[in-house]
Amino acid sequence: MADTSSRRVAEVLLEPKGLKITSFQEIQSLWAGYGHICALTAKPKDAETAGRVRKYLHAAESNNTFFLILKLISPPPGPTDEGHLRKILSYDVEQYFYEHVAPQLDDDVAVAHCLTSSWESKHEDGELRGLTATILTDLRVKFPVEGGKRSVLSPRQVESALEWLAKFHSNSWKFLPANLGEYLLPPLEEFKRRDAGEAGGSKLWLNGGYTYLATRRTEYKSLAGDTYSEWSEAFCAPFQGSDKSTAEVVADFLTPTGRPFETLIHGDVKSENLFTTELGDNVCFFDFQYVGLGLGVCDLAKLFTCSVPLDMLTDCPSLPEEMDMDRGEKALLYLYHETLLSRRPSDKEPLDYDWDTLVRHWECALVDWCRFQASWGFWGNTEWLEARVRHILKDAEWREWLQKEVSDTGRYSSI
């Protein structure tokens, strides 16, 4: 029900768990009025309940006060455009992640624990019908430092974030799906197949993130027509003998198909979506609305551009128009690569994912991320990103490698 108060939603969810709310405060409104995030504390009705909840949440609260977060989604009425559909689906994806994926992660891949949610009841008659509500542990208890909106992280926080991402990506090799049909298509395609009576995706996004080309065609069309932008020609012109543009060929390569090096990706990696310890030696991520399959380096492209200090990427006091990978960028990428492979599940066969291959994937991720920024608006380490992508696009060896990769998979179409 749209008029159900946030506190009442929390009460309905917590009562079956034997917990009573002792404090409640709304701390954030979600984008465009889609809901609220609230902080609350709750106490158990008895010692047995306290022990059960502590064990379930891996919590150590000694005074039996549990610090929790309610994320409540109650979408506003309005046009069902692609952006709206993306948001609606993304909140279902996030709830699925916390219910079914987060419990499978290793202990040192820190995420919030889900205590209860409306996953089973939101389609049934009752007070929670039509609402997406999830009650999670409050990460700020163990990770009190906010990453901050559009903030640059400290060097130690950057390294911790890279290690977390590498472990998260590697961890997902334990439970990647055999049936990709259970994953959600891009928003318009997903609703089209549901409207046609077909079984829709019920898990995570088939393509993690929200900037990939299949869901940004409107912005791409605008870029293609923008004759004043250098990136119009760079991204939208045909790719050496293909009837597809450079941006489309790169997007084809990055589209998940079940290849061995694919993982789950967070999909929206930025300082705003993480907390850290006081020392910055550990981080935890949240906001898993766009988690899905992909190449792990796609998470890194946004992190490096939006949250990493520029002097950790390059020593150049004045950035050139074009630039190859500098030693700082290489060191960070190497840290990620080493951690990723070292944490591969022991029951999986060794993965042939060498450094040179990772770098080619990284270059594709940078090109794809720059394409989105060029069509949406640049922010972050803009000069670095543009200089790197100019260099990549002019690299004949990269272009030949990309052409061979998409040709081998049947995704390349010649005129």
Does residue 114 sit in the same domain as residue 225? Answer: no
- The Cα–Cα gap between 87 and 341 comes to 33
Angle, vertex CA 356, rays to CA 355 and CA 360, nearest 5:
115
Decide which of 141, 159, 193 is a domain's last residue: 141
- The Cα–Cα gap between 78 and 394 comes to 44
Q: Would you place residue 1 in the very low, low, confident or very high pLDDT band (cuts 50, 70, 90)?
A: very low
Weakest mean pLDDT among 76-90, 223-237, 388-402: 76-90
Does residue 105 sit in the same domain as residue 59? Answer: yes
Does residue 167 sit in the same domain as residue 282? Answer: yes
pTM of the entire predicted model: 0.94
Decide which of 141, 171, 198 is a domain's last residue: 141
Q: What is the pLDDT of residues 243-273, one digit of tens each?
A: 999 999 999 999 999 999 999 999 999 999 9
Mean pLDDT of 303-331: 97
pLDDT reported for residue 202: 84
- Is residue 167 within 8 A of residue 42, CB to CB? The reply is no
pLDDT reported for residue 409: 66
Does residue 172 sit in the same domain as residue 307? Answer: yes
Decide which of 123, 141, 159 is a domain's last residue: 141
**pLDDT reading at 237 higher than 90:** yes
* Of 46 and 136, the one with more pLDDT: 136
413, part of any domain: no
Q: Is 156 exposed, middle or buried (0-12, 13-18, 19+ CB in 10 A)?
A: middle
pLDDT reported for residue 2: 40
Does residue 304 sit in the same domain as residue 175? Answer: yes
pLDDT reported for residue 77: 76
Using left for φ > 0, alpha for ψ between -120 and 50, and beta otherwise, residue 267 falls in left
Q: Write the DSSP assignment of 252-278 as a string of letters.
A: HHHS-S--TT-EEE-S--SGGGEEE-T
**pLDDT reading at 136 higher than 70:** yes
**pLDDT reading at 3 higher than 70:** no
- The Cα–Cα gap between 39 and 28 comes to 9
415, part of any domain: no
pLDDT reported for residue 4: 64
Q: What is the pLDDT of residues 58-89, one digit of tens each?
A: 776 667 899 999 999 988 776 678 989 999 99
Strand partners, 37: 28, 71
Six-digit token string for 232: 């119009």
Weakest mean pLDDT among 49-58, 65-74, 308-317, 404-413: 404-413
Number of domains in the chain: 2
Does residue 76 sit in the same domain as residue 172? Answer: no
- CATH number of the domain encompassing residue 56: 3.30.200.20
Does residue 81 sit in the same domain as residue 162? Answer: no
Angle, vertex CA 409, rays to CA 388 and CA 291, nearest 5:
60
Domain that holds residue 66: 6-141
**pLDDT reading at 124 higher than 80:** no
Does residue 95 sit in the same domain as residue 173? Answer: no
Question: How high does pLDDT run on average in the chain?
Answer: 92
Q: Would you place residue 57 in the very low, low, confident or very high pLDDT band (cuts 50, 70, 90)?
A: confident
Closest CA to 299 of 273, 281, 325, 324: 273
Q: Is 318 helix (H, G, I), strand (E, B) or coil?
A: coil
343, part of any domain: yes
pLDDT reported for residue 52: 85
Q: Is 127 helix (H, G, I), strand (E, B) or coil?
A: coil
- The Cα–Cα gap between 225 and 209 comes to 25
pLDDT reported for residue 139: 96
Does residue 265 sit in the same domain as residue 204? Answer: yes
- The Cα–Cα gap between 132 and 87 comes to 12
187, part of any domain: yes
How many contiguous H segments (helices) and E segments (strands) does the chain have? 13, 10
Does residue 220 sit in the same domain as residue 361? Answer: yes
Does residue 227 sit in the same domain as residue 115? Answer: no
Does residue 121 sit in the same domain as residue 237? Answer: no
63, part of any domain: yes
- The Cα–Cα gap between 71 and 4 comes to 14
- CATH number of the domain encompassing residue 246: 3.90.1200
1, part of any domain: no
12, part of any domain: yes
Residue showing tokens 């550990």 = 282
414, part of any domain: no
